[in-house]
Amino acid sequence: MLIRALSSLIALGLAAGAMPAQAGPFAPAAGQTGSTAVSKASTDIVQWATGYQGYLPGSNVDATWKTPEKALGAALGTSTDIVSLGDQGVITLTFGGALANGTGWDFAVFENSFSDTFLELAFVEVSSNGADFFRFPTISFTPSPVNAFGSVDPTNIDGLAGKYRQGFGTPFDLDVLAGVAGLNVNNISHVRLVDVKGNGSELDQFTFGSPHRIYDPFQTTGSGGFDLDAVGVRYLAAAVPEPESVALFAAGLGLVAWRVRRRASI
């Protein structure tokens, strides 16, 4: 996920003509050496999404796959326990507390791909206030359009959710967004996923040359677009109580203190 450092290495490789013909520079599929895939059984995961907001499915999604509650709780790693976003659809998740920036990856997004190469992708955005969202930078080296039953090499993509097959999450490191004005990486309240349409109409953020068109299987139907299984959190800060809760807690402490003093004077 060290996308900025990788961009520098990629630029040098391009300049030297050293890019492999069939494989990209990024982490490979789950189970392969160098993969960054996070297992749904990982003991590093301490929390899963507990709520959702703003589920706005795009086109090509049947009613069967429009149940956003299926994105809550632990990843099941199946093909059916998911919510589909459809073309450029959106969902925002909450976690019963704030995500924090720790060592290495901080949260992981799980999709339901049945293979290592049928990869439907999504942009990932985070917010500290639920209103202002900031997108993780992306790179896509998939060279040409991918049909509805086509393949995406996971070593050609970085910064996009959906890189790994079902049961394995794509990790995201909040340190990538450290220093972005308006974002507190130690107080992330919301994670938003936006489906990549996949027809090349959207561009990545490659910074050492022209941006690239982002391709994924297009056009899928029925459960079209990104299919969200779950989002797991590695570092969860303590939940901040509402002001009303703080006031009630303070009042309770005052009552306890009064009772102690009263008993002492009897």
pLDDT tens column, 136-166: 999 999 999 999 999 999 999 999 999 999 9
Alpha carbons 119 and 113: distance in angstroms, whole number: 6
Domain assignment of residue 92, yes or no: yes
Q: What is the mean pLDDT of the chain?
A: 87
- Angle at alpha carbon of residue 74, lines to 67 and 106, rounded to 5°: 110
Is it the case that residue 111 has pLDDT exceeding 60?
Answer: yes
In whole angstroms, what is the distance from residue 266 CA to residue 248 CA?
27
CATH code, domain carrying 163: 2.60.120.260
- Total domains in the chain come to 1
Least confident of 46-50, 167-171, 257-261: 257-261
Q: Considering only residues 98 and 12, tell me which one the structure prediction assigns the higher pLDDT.
A: 98
Residue 218: is its pLDDT beyond 80?
A: yes
Assess if residue 264 is contained within a domain: no
DSSP state of 142: -
DSSP state of 259: H
At residue 238, the pLDDT reads 67
Band (89; pLDDT cuts 50, 70, 90): very high
Position 188 in a domain:
yes
Residue 30, both tokens: 């789950």
* 170 half-sphere exposure, CB direction, 13 A CA radius: 31
How many whole angstroms separate alpha carbon 100 and alpha carbon 234? 8
Quick check: is 32 in a domain? Answer: yes
pLDDT, tens digit (0-9, with 9 covering 90-100), for 57-84: 999 999 999 999 999 999 999 999 999 9
Q: Mean per-residue pLDDT for 255-262? A: 43
**Residue 56: its pLDDT value, please?**
98
Domain contains 51? yes
Q: Which range has the worst mean pLDDT, 8-12, 34-38, 133-137, 195-199?
A: 8-12
Residue 218 located in a structural domain = yes
Q: Is the pTM above the cut of 0.95? A: no
Distance of CA 209 to the CA centre of its chain: 26
Q: What angle do CA 63, 115, 110 make, to 5 degrees?
A: 60
pLDDT of residue 43: 98
Residue 18, pLDDT above cutoff 60: no
Q: What is the pLDDT of residue 259?
A: 47
Using CA atoms, how far apart are residues 11 and 28, in angstroms rounded to an integer?
20
pLDDT at position 23: 87
The answer to whether residue 248 sits within a structural domain is: no
Pick left, alpha or beta for residue 129 (phi over 0 → left; psi -120 to 50 → alpha; otherwise beta): alpha
Q: Is residue 257 part of a domain?
A: no
Residue 60 domain boundaries: 3-241
